[in-house]
Amino acid sequence: MRLVIVESPAKGRTISKFLGKDYKVVASFGHVRDLPKGELGVDVENDFEPKYVIPTKARKVVSALKKDSAEADNTILATDEDREGESIAWHLKEALKLKNPQRIVFHEITKSAIEKALEKPRKIDMDMVNAQQARRILDRIVGYKLSPFLWKKVARGLSAGRVQSVAVKLVVEREREIDKFLAVEYWSVEVLLKKEKEFTASLFKKNGESIDKLEIKNKEETDKILKNLTGAEYIVESVEKRETNRYPAPPFTTSTLQQAAWQRFHFPAKMTMQIAQRLYEDGFITYHRTDSLNLSEGALSDAKKFITETLGQNYWAGKLVKYKIKSNSAQEAHEAIRPAYGEKTPESLEKIDSKQLKLYTLIWQRFISCQMAPAVFDSVSADIKAGDYTFRANGQTLKFNGFLKIYPTKFEEKELPELKEKETLELLRLAPTQHFTEPPARYTEASLIKTLEKYGIGRPSTYAPTIATIQTRNYVSKNDQKRFFPTEIGLVVNDVLVKNFPEVVDIDFTAKLEKELDEVSEGKDTWQKTCKDFYAPFAKNLKKKYEEVKKTDLVHQTDKVCPKCGSPLVDRMGRFGRFYACSKFPECKYTESIENKKTDLGIKCPKCNQGEIVEKKTKKGKIFYGCNNYPNCKFAAWDKPINEFCPKCNSILVENKKKQAKCSSKECDFKKINEK
């Protein structure tokens, strides 16, 4: 009997379908060894020797795997093909005391891929293991050394992380850019013209010189232009017609899939990866943690066959289109994310939930479309002279939809009338418009991931957990538009780290460290040297900062009195925001939440009829609505209450995420119909 060990039961079930009775497939349920909780677990004085332990939750699994491997003729480690998967394979070898296990990797869970992998087993790649080991040790050092510093100098319960702190810094810097932003006034001038039908043209030249977007600064300058245009004739100066092509985007990498899933469906990165994991394990898509754009020859042929046979020869690109990633460090995996079987359309899938179907459809469409012909537009631009000024009108109409047939994306069609040079057009209206420059936009999940990738911060497997972590730790939150802003404690922690540990949150330094990890995985450097190069100056600076930095004063006196012991209450900053605490702490541990006036909804509590309903947050930062008379009144609701009551049962109405009003009582099914 040959034993095959994978990470998850779902992956195991799919692989089992392709193997005969001579194979037994079992799951390790992820990592079977890790650094211990509650201690550093790294001997920084002895070449950063890690102390690995088998976590409590993994002990039963390890015992069962030991028994299975002892009974097997051969053990095959079939964990994922990235660094983390290689690391899991090595930890399995060590924990199970395997002498010569076989290592197989595959980019897709298909019969042909599994059979091909079994034909060419290899040894565990220790360079990849060491790169992952270095990452884990560096992250542990930063977390376990910096977090106590924050506890002592800022507040208990805080934490720092090598990549998460850089992500928080990006959000903080963007927020401060917005705070400092001063809007600049500018104007644009459009003209509504007519020849058989109406169309618009925009002012873009004066005396043959292009007008900059911000050049028309105020109403006075605009009025001067309008005055100069009084009585002017609008004559077509030139007309240019051409065909323009719009080409399809390349197949998905981890980063671009997370961005597209957010833009299309508002899936958080963590959710996208969970859904993709299930699709991969069920054999629907290829491996989903990758920064490569490569596509196998077989996949390219499958796409070509589907396009030519289903859509027609004219929809194929005419050649097998191959893409290359711009980053030199793209080596985590061998292929882009694509469907395991190109001919398996979304409509043909069975037993798949709606979210999985949405993501699979996106992946399938993107893969097929990347091998399709470009969309072709008939474009026309016309320059129209009026005195000293020139206006330009642009139009485009779709001539051939090409890849847009499979992967629809937004575009605007604007049809101009048939214009000829030197003909005079009828003026209908001059339309000046006032504008103001906009501040930079706050990050969404998509744009933050794009920025992290741009600067080389983290790797495909780290984007989702990084974004989830900075929200869970309440360093950043999302507004109503699902955009990130830093919390008060996030600003404080960022400022402390930027001032005292600039290298930890420096974008270039963090990106340089990622490159060093890449060199370790390629066998060009040792993991011990990478750890030492980071730790030596870091430890020296940490010791110095413990002596230099005074505790951040986040405590303010109040005129409130502790109801337990009568001592004054102070206003403290904690991990989840400000709160009242007894000044006699730790002798008296009384605390009380501080209600933010901005979150007061102006609605009487329907339960006690004394307090007001206010917006609150759980310890994990999730928003809910409760009575400010807590703990005397324990009214609470996840949906936002509105100042209206149910005509059926008189319970208060709440508003769901779709802005639909419904009864707050679980026993009542009343829903308010939106009036159009």
670, 661 contact by CB (below 8 A): no
Q: C-alpha distances in angstroms, 254 versus 57, 364, 468?
A: 29, 15, 16
Q: Is the peptide bond before 121 cis (omega within 30 degrees of 0)?
A: no
Q: What is the dihedral of CA 631, 632, 634, 635, to 10 degrees?
A: -130
End-to-end CA distance of the chain: 68
| Contacts (Cβ under 8 Å, ≥6 apart) of 615 | 596, 599, 601, 623, 624, 625, 640
CA dist 568 and 561 (Å) reads: 5
The answer to whether residue 315 is catalytic is no
Cβ-contact 96, 58 below 8 angstroms: no
What CA–CA distance (Å, rounded) separates 136 from 35? 9
Cis amide bond preceding 631, omega within 30: yes
**Separation between Cα atoms, residue 52 and residue 42, nearest integer Å:** 9
CB 10 within 8 A of CB 282: yes
Rounded-to-integer distance, Cα 26 and Cα 7, Å? 8
Burial 449-468 (b: 16+ CB within 10 A, else e): bbbbbeebbbbbbbbbbbbb
Burial 5-35 (b: 16+ CB within 10 A, else e): bbbbebbbebbeebbeeebbbbbbbebbbbb
Q: Do residues 2 and 24 make contact, with C-beta atoms less than 8 angstroms apart? A: yes
Of 234, 280, 287, 407, the active-site residue reads: 287
* Residue located via tokens 């929809």: 315
Encoding tokens for residue 300? 């390219």
| Placement of tokens 């893969």 in the chain | 367
Question: For residue 657, how many other CB atoms are within 10 A of its CB?
Answer: 7
Answer whether 458's CB lies under 8 Å from 452's CB.
Answer: yes
DSSP output for 163-201: THHHHHHHHHHHHHHHHH----EEEEEEEEEEESEEEEE
- What is the H or E stretch that residue 491 is in? helix 488-500
Q: Which residues pair with 236 in a beta bridge?
A: 384
Active site residues: 287
